[in-house]
Structure formats: C-alpha cells, structure tokens
Amino acid sequence: MSSKSGSTCLYLGIFGALIVGTIITVWVAMGIDLGRPGNIALGIIIACVKASLVALFFMHLKFESKLIWGAALLPLVLFLIIVFALMPDIGNGTTLKRGPAVPVEHKGH
C-alpha cells in the first residue's frame, strides 16, 4: 500500500494533545489576562499547532510526497499574502462603523 498507517497509540496521543490545546486556549482566553495582543497571539499559536498536528498525523502529510506538500503549503502562502494585502484597509476610516447588535429580551416558546 502507498500510505503508511499510524499506530493507535499515536492517534490517541495526538487526540490528547488537541484536547489539551483546546483547554489551554479556553483557559487563557477566559481566565488569564496577557493583554489583548498577547491573548490573540497565544490563541493563534495554539490553533496553528493543533492544525499542524491534524495535518501531519491524521492527514498523513508527514509521509506524503513533495507534490502533496506543495498543494498543502500553497494555500498558507496565499493566506499570508491576502492578510498582508488587507493591511492598508485597517485603520484608515474606509470601513463603515456600526455599533454592536442590540439583543431583544428572551422570547418564550
């Protein structure tokens, strides 16, 4: 067969790491104040680590050819390009400013 298959222990370990990452993300966001930039940075870093674990082991990217690595990494490059391309739109007053939503009282059934 072309694809290598991971072991059950490996998959369970990755699952455990994903759950721990989720717990840490929620705990830091709700319980620890690192300042907004700090919380955002840590949240993104943990999300990237979790995504990497899923891609490398659950999706078997670790064992794939360079061609598939290229297909997998291309959207990351394009994502970074889009995010940086949007930078001029931030803070220049062109985005319509709207207030928050106004919730109504709970509707009973």
Partner 1 sequence: MSEHAVSEAVYEVQHERAKFGMWLFLASEVMFFTGFIGSYIVLRMNNAEAMLKDQDQIQMTLHLAVINTVALILSSLTMAMAVKSAHDRKQVATSAYLFATIMLACVFMVVKFLEYQAKFDHGLYPSSSPFFSCYFTMTGFHGLHVLAGIVALLGILGGSMSGAYTNGHYRPVEITGLYWHLVDLIWIFLFPMLYLL
Q: Which residues bind partner 1 (CB under 8 A)?
A: 1-3, 5-6, 8, 11-12, 14-15, 18-19, 22, 25-26, 29-30, 39-40, 43-44, 46-47, 50-51, 54-55, 57-59, 64-65, 67-68, 71-72, 74-76, 78-79, 82-83, 86, 89-91, 95, 97-107
Quote the least distance from Cβ 75 to partner 1, whole Å: 4
Quote the least distance from Cβ 102 to partner 1, whole Å: 8
Are 49 and 42 contacting, i.e. CB atoms less than 8 angstroms apart? no
Question: Which residue is associated with the tokens 């391309």?
Answer: 85
Question: Which residue is associated with the tokens 């699952």?
Answer: 15
Quote the least distance from Cβ 106 to partner 1, whole Å: 6
Quote the least distance from Cβ 50 to partner 1, whole Å: 5
Instruction: Output the six-digit token pair for 12.
Output: 């369970």
Are 43 and 29 contacting, i.e. CB atoms less than 8 angstroms apart? yes
Question: Which residue is associated with the tokens 């290229």?
Answer: 70
Complex with partner 1: residue 30 or 33, whichever CB lies closer: 30
Helices (H), the chain: 8-31, 36-53, 66-85
